[in-house]
Chain A
């Protein structure tokens, strides 16, 4: 009963695939997010049981890390670097233009579910800022034209 929800079979597979690892929780959470686009609430008791942790502990870990989502993101995820080196190249102004064009703030998704906007603190592209990541693809010397990549 505990394990019967729409994702439970896939999660069981993921848990099985990570057996024997030392400290398996982060790899498991990454794999679940990869599979579902977020870490479903219903996964928590299943993970807790498999790793003999309390549900509260699993929750605590999920909520500690910026990467793990409790709900699916928009169709596209646009991450803009907010860190110092990119700021010196005008990252703040680019971010303001993009927020205005999308009509959303950081951590929000456009009402049509098209784009989720997230800050990131450095992508290691600090000599060609401002930098961005669009659905996992890296963009250097980014400006508001990056929006063309998330137009659909």
Chain B
């Protein structure tokens, strides 16, 4: 018998380790030989821990599994109370276009043989035979834009580094993933680490960089463990070596270190303060050398682009948002998890059709798109198609494609206050509008909460000051959640007054 039990953090947080141990124990008790493979997650978090049993027809799913459900796996599988059928046939799986996440949840994350058997290393093998400018051209042609938030074209960034002359260049993978509602980087690193390694190796060939770093946030112990093991395995197998090698580095709990220049300072062992640009990191990045800084998903999307060609990837999508995007549907939502799909679904389709509405069963009130620096969208904007420009046109952003669904019990004034508080806690301290403005923002919103509506113009002014006077998007974009809450949910800012009186 071969049984898959995810090692993914979400599955583990819901009891996967205990279920895996119970399966081993039960098998031993019954004298049955069972091979337990710890895979990544399929992304259906409401079914986690999702156990899969290999059968002649395919992989049969059982979830959410508890220890008490384990004995039943050794009996009649069809009548198991947690049976969900063939995993690949579930609507959640069939509706997706899994390019970047094709292998996540499918393979043993630390088996290089499994990786190869599922199409791994084909992109790198093709890249090895190409000249650097050809690789850069292919990535540019694919239309891939940075998935870390800013949406900058990946190929153009690579071109700058590729053409820079230096004795040493670097590839730095940004795995700081600090945004609430995002976990795509984590799932990819835990479920298919070799894809990221392959993407970074291709980036190295394209730019002439021979050394890479993955900066992973310390809040991700499982991802750190899997990536460290994968790097060792890749090195032993010669995938990494003199041509390109890499190290895993661990952050230290500062949100701002996701900002690329702050990350580089942190990697150098300094305080994670933001650097002024120029100089661009592409020209003077890590230790002053030309450096590609890319998000995990940007880099992990490169192998499939190289393997199947730029045109194949580019064919998916909408407008200037090409390819696929791993949506992370989170918060108060019935079917939460990761759903990779071509750009272009509307927000309403994502929240209601894929997510199934709220977990509480109450009406959806607002959805924050793009993490703590993203805008709150009301239901009246649910026709907005998922794309960089499309969300920008509605005074929002897609960021790293995380969505926080909230039901009608949420108090938008409190969410606006939280955005300011978060900015105050996480500010790197370099600019006054961010460092001091956010503290003033909390105070001003507290005045509003006490019923002082005269504070509304003040908060608007303050947001303008932060927008214009901040060096990076922490101070500069905190106004998005604040102003969207105020604009779309003005009643919450007035109701507070009535409550106070």
Interface residues of A in 21-35 (CB under 8 A from B): 21-27, 29-30
For residue A17, CB closer than 8 A to chain B, the reply is no
Q: Give chain B residues whose Cβ lies under 8 Å from the Cβ of A127.
A: 10, 45-46, 183, 328-331, 333, 336-337
Contacts of A120 in B (CB 8 A): 219, 253
Bound CA–CA A21/B267 (angstroms): 11
Contact of A131 with B by CB under 8 A: yes
**Whole-angstrom distance between the Cβ of A27 and the nearest chain B Cβ:** 7
- Knowing A61-B270, A127-B330, the reply to whether A121 touches B13 (Cβ < 8 A) is no
- Number of B residues near A (Cβ < 8 Å) is 61
Whether B219 pairs with A26 at a CB distance below 8 angstroms is: no
Inter-chain contact B405/A65, CB cutoff 8 Å? no
**Is B406 located at the chain interface by the 8 A CB criterion?**
yes
B221 lies within 8 A of chain A by Cβ: yes
Which stretch, B156-164, B174-182, B385-393, B468-476, touches the partner chain A? B174-182
- When distances are taken between beta carbons in the complex, the residues of chain A under 8 Å from B181 are 84-85, 122, 126
Q: Does B368 contact A (CB under 8 A)?
A: yes
Known: A24-B269, A65-B272, A128-B48. A84 touches B252 (CB 8 A): no
Taking the closest CB of chain A, its distance from the CB of B258, in whole angstroms, is: 11
Q: Are A84 and B13 in contact (CB under 8 A)?
A: no
- B-chain residues with CB within 8 Å of residue A89 when the two chains form the complex: 331-332, 359
Q: How far is the CA of A126 from the CA of B272 in the complex (A)?
A: 25
- Report whether A84 and B404 are in contact in the complex, using a CB–CB cutoff of 8 Å: yes
State the CA gap A20–B301 with chains docked (Å): 32
Q: Which B residue sits closest to A29, measured CB to CB?
A: B252
- Centre residue among A21, A27, A66, A141 by max chain B CB count within 10 A: A66
CB distance from A89 to the nearest CB of B (A): 6
Which of A27, A124, A131 touches B182 (beta carbons < 8 Å)? A124
B271 at the A interface (CB under 8 A): yes
Chain B's closest residue to A127 (CB) is: B336
**Interface check A54, CB cutoff 8 A:** no
Judge whether B407 and A68 touch: CB under 8 Å.
Answer: no
Any A CB within 8 A of the CB of B102: no
Q: Does more than half of chain B's interface fall in helix, strand or loop, or is it mixed? A: mixed
Name the distance in Å between A48's Cβ and chain B's nearest Cβ: 12
In the complex, which of the residues B9, B12, B180, B402 contacts A121, with contact meaning CB atoms closer than 8 Å?
A: B180
Q: Is B254 a contact partner of A124 (Cβ separation < 8 A)?
A: no
The docked-state distance in angstroms from the alpha carbon of A136 to that of B222 is: 10
A88, CB-defined interface residue at 8 Å: yes
Query: Could you jot down 20 A-B contacts, CB within 8 Å?
Result: A22-B268, A23-B249, A25-B269, A29-B252, A66-B254, A84-B368, A84-B372, A85-B331, A121-B422, A121-B425, A121-B426, A122-B179, A123-B13, A124-B9, A124-B183, A124-B219, A126-B331, A128-B14, A129-B330, A138-B221
User: Which residues of B are in contact with A by a Cβ distance under 8 Å?
Assistant: 9-10, 12-14, 45-46, 48, 177-183, 186, 218-222, 247, 249-255, 266-273, 286-287, 328-333, 336-337, 359, 368, 372, 402, 404-407, 410, 415, 418, 422, 425-426
Sorted nearest first, the 6 A-B pairs with minimum C-beta distance are A25-B269, A127-B336, A140-B13, A65-B252, A83-B180, A126-B330
